[in-house]
Structure 1
């Protein structure tokens, strides 16, 4: 088999999430700040000239036709008419359903990698159009910049923020994003802000109270974490995060994390580690 080329598939957190309204089609008008992290899954690619897409490491509980990795690869094939294919491998480090972008990031890594390895040369704007059909969070990973997002998450403005460290922790429960967005108790009328008005202290996650009411373990984890640093749920959960100024402080709290929870420490990045790695590979080839 062709050598497998491994690429990072970075996590993200939502530093805030405001629900500002709902569109007639049921989607919500959101505002959020996507912070990319330097930690994530790993995806391997062995490309070939047969038009077959194979996921060599299936994910438990996810049917192949529902897997965003397969959806992304096939969407790129259909969009371009490419006859190239690939065997794809995944080393999963991020919790599924954790609100840190695992599946969306995987899809973006596939689109960016195969666009390069199949020599399609589509611009990022075109890849983002394909990404939007796969999932609302996929475009931010295609753009590869920490960014202020609006609409359903597809209108992204790159935004420089101070470099910080994050302890990201998961309570071991799964939160269904569709269930949260369809819930009658979800706030949907938060006033919109401008990107330059953002501060952590003046924003919140509009899904947090609802999820805490539905999932006691999320509430318990947040109550523990907030004693150490400013803390918040990311996305629709279930993961939460705390903000630190340095790696040492974050790792010190991670060592104290109760055994019932799992967590990791990551640095916020302005540019995706995937984009950096892919550029290095292409420059060397």
Structure 2
């Protein structure tokens, strides 16, 4: 690896430990409260500088054209900001991706990929943007991108961009992919979506988590009733996993998860998952691994 490349860059998934919809803005965006936590299941990205100024994703991602990929769109925003600040164009960049996080799974894979790309290109291009600069740059593309740049377990409000660090126990999770992709539009647009959940505080969340060691989840996922009605496969996965604990859906779906206090218990549950589902275990991450990777260079 040289100053012209960054390989094996992690883009971790996230879980929503709860997700409440507390209102809706005049522009149609929903007001949310959630706690995001990172887990150690990651896409892996590789970056190499070019000499012609082009920004290219060289890996085919089925269903996601290069021009519409959040990675490419985020890097083009960063390139424009670089040119505005430095008065010259960026050298360009090639991106390869080893994609394992499912699309339409509620794990934030596309947003996480974009956040990792912003951190990597900011370093390779020596753009000089701060974490807060990158968070503001990424927000118009997706409300999850600022969380991945924030880089630690966070209590989120607004449309997901107002973030405060919060502590949660070091837990393991079993995650099931029900075999469907859940588009966010129909879920957020459903007439029966709850949009008036009473706001909570970080203190409410932290007190509950301390009392239950994080194994009994706080609140609920307001999107889950809609998603399970539209996609019965999600309901089936939730119902099966609930025999082992407080299982629920993450994000707008489709993946469902349950928390456990040890890797051995999580592995024992995973061994019982039906072969019709793809499932895996993951451990919570206290911090995003990219900043440490960049500091070591």
TM-score interval for Structure 1 and Structure 2 normalised by the shorter chain: over 0.9
Among 36, 39, 46, the residue aligned to 2:38: 36
Displacement of 1:279 in angstroms is 2.4
Among 274, 283, 293, the residue aligned to 1:258: 274
Contact preservation (8 Å) 1:147, 1:157: yes
Structure-2 residue corresponding to 1:174: 181
Among 149, 152, 160, the residue aligned to 1:153: 160
CA distance in 2, matches of 1:180, 1:123: 34
Displacement of 1:76 in angstroms is 0.5
| Structure 2 unaligned spans of 5+ | 84-88, 209-215
CA distance in 2, matches of 1:221, 1:255: 15
Aligned residues: 281
Q: Find out whether 1:9 has 2:7 as its counterpart.
A: no
Displacement of 1:139 in angstroms is 0.3
| Structure 1 unaligned spans of 5+ | none
Structure-2 residue corresponding to 1:76: 78
CA distance in 1, matches of 2:203, 2:285: 19
Contact preservation (8 Å) 1:37, 1:272: no
Among 37, 47, 55, the residue aligned to 1:53: 55
CA distance in 1, matches of 2:114, 2:166: 23
Contact preservation (8 Å) 1:68, 1:107: yes
Displacement of 1:275 in angstroms is 2.5
Contact preservation (8 Å) 2:176, 2:279: yes
TM superposition score normalised by structure 2: 0.92
**Matches of residues 268-279 of structure 1 in structure 2 within 5 Å?**
268-279=284-295
CA distance in 2, matches of 1:267, 1:202: 19
Closer, same or farther: CA 66–245 of 1 in aligned 2, 3 Å: same
Contact preservation (8 Å) 2:17, 2:218: no
Among 101, 118, 127, the residue aligned to 1:94: 101
CA distance in 1, matches of 2:233, 2:132: 40
The Cα offsets for residues 43-98 of structure 1, whole Å up to 9 and x where unpaired, read as 00011332111111021111222111111111100122142211100000111110
